Amino acid sequence: MKKNIWLNFGFQFVAIIFALIFTTVILLIAGAPPFQAYISVIKGTISSMNDIANVMGAWAPLLLTTAGVLITFAAGLWNIGIEGQVVMGAIFTTGTLRLLQNSTLSSGLILVLGFLAGMVGGALWASLAGALKTFGNVNEIFGGLGLNFVATAVTIYLIFGPWKRPGIASLSGTLLFPNNLWLPTVSGTEFSPWALGLGLLVILIVYFLLRGTYFGLRLKAVGKNIRSAFLLGVPTWQYMMFSFILCGACAGLAGAVQVTSVYHRLIPSISSGYGFLGLLVAMLINYQAIWAAPIALFYAALNIGGIQLPILLKLDSSLSGVLQGVLVLFVMLVEGARQRLFRKR
């Protein structure tokens, strides 16, 4: 058993080395110094307290989206529509805060209601993708992608229409919420300990849900073999819908975090790509929730550190995204090689 653990670690290490080599080759082709580029990314995450706070701020919504996709992955589903679910969560949260900001309710209660509304918005949008899959036999990848575009269009409509700033419609978004409706953050930063605590709590709940409950066992049975699960008496379509709804609720929470602790308003790119990034994290950890927190932190650091590349080296910040995607690619390739080798043995 111990030998297998070290062997698996060795394969993962080889995948990381291959990913770094591949990225280094891309940098050399672009005429950039690879070592300096990597140092710039690292410095962009730890060079100041503000950089560290930005990483922590990115970690929270990424944990929430990763938690969501782990649930749908367990059911054998690719919820590509999670980006749209983050957006709809942000829209529902914004609508609730706008509706209640002048009420006599306390700020804390309004924020709680805003977060609940975000969960409902994400869950409702995810249920549409689930319904297309379970009742319309529409592949969840295509259905989810289509719903992502619709969610973005709804955001643009609201910003330039009913929720536009007085006298002007701007891509900068809606009016800022009053300060009392901002989630408390560390002074001078966008990092909210409340948001991070929520993200860690949700990933912990998902870990125990998938590992230690009857619901999680049935969900995995559906994901492994839906026909066998049905023959054994598992209500398969209901579990597929549950997985979409729970994932959407997690994504909606991520949207609520973006609205209340980062931007304090609704903007066109409110999801910041955390839905797709959550998919990468889930694939990299081989769908094991126990590794979600550290790997999500690593990806959040890459995401924030990449901002330094255009500033210091005149490189596009998407290079960090290349490294993130290539890392997943090589981990999956090496994992496939490992399984094939063990099967032969």
CA distance from start to end of the chain = 16
pLDDT at 293 over 80: yes
pLDDT class of 9 with cuts at 50, 70, 90: low
Number of domains in the chain: 2
- Asked if residue 307 and residue 321 are part of one domain, the reply reads no
Averaged pLDDT of the chain: 86
- Inside any domain, residue 37: no
- Inside any domain, residue 50: no
pLDDT at 5 over 70: no
- Asked if residue 140 and residue 233 are part of one domain, the reply reads yes
- Asked if residue 17 and residue 104 are part of one domain, the reply reads no
- Asked if residue 326 and residue 258 are part of one domain, the reply reads no
> Taking the complete model, does pTM exceed 0.75, yes or no?
yes
pLDDT of 2: 46
- Asked if residue 309 and residue 170 are part of one domain, the reply reads yes
pLDDT at 345 over 60: no
- Inside any domain, residue 152: yes
- Asked if residue 321 and residue 309 are part of one domain, the reply reads no
Structure tokens at 340: 């094939």
Residue 13, number of CB atoms within 10 A of its CB: 11
- Inside any domain, residue 277: yes
By mean pLDDT, which of 72-81, 259-268, 269-278, 281-290 is the weakest? 281-290
- Asked if residue 341 and residue 292 are part of one domain, the reply reads no
Angle at 320 between CA 327 and CA 325, to 5 degrees: 30
pLDDT class of 304 with cuts at 50, 70, 90: confident
For the chain, the maximum distance between any two Cα atoms, rounded to a whole number of angstroms, is 71
The string of pLDDT tens digits covering residues 150-173 is 999 999 999 988 998 877 666 778
**Above pLDDT 90, what percent of the chain?**
47
- Asked if residue 240 and residue 109 are part of one domain, the reply reads yes
Give me the CATH number covering residue 108: 1.10.3470
The string of pLDDT tens digits covering residues 92-143 is 999 999 999 988 999 999 999 999 999 999 999 999 999 999 888 888 889 9
- Asked if residue 213 and residue 293 are part of one domain, the reply reads yes
Q: What is the 3-state secondary structure (H, E, C) of 15-67?
A: HHHHHHHHHHHHHHHCCCCHHHHHHHHHHHHHCCHHHHHHHHHHHHHHHHHHH
By mean pLDDT, which of 193-207, 304-318, 320-334 is the weakest? 304-318
What is the DSSP annotation of 163-199? TPPTT---TT-SPPPPGGGSPP-STTSS--HHHHHHH
- Inside any domain, residue 257: yes
Residue 273's H or E segment, with its range, is none
The string of pLDDT tens digits covering residues 183-233 is 988 877 778 999 999 999 999 999 999 987 899 999 999 988 888 888 888
- Asked if residue 327 and residue 308 are part of one domain, the reply reads no
pLDDT at 44 over 80: no
- Asked if residue 345 and residue 306 are part of one domain, the reply reads no
Expressed as residue numbers, the domain containing 209 is 57-314
- Inside any domain, residue 225: yes
- Asked if residue 97 and residue 154 are part of one domain, the reply reads yes
- Inside any domain, residue 44: no
- Inside any domain, residue 296: yes
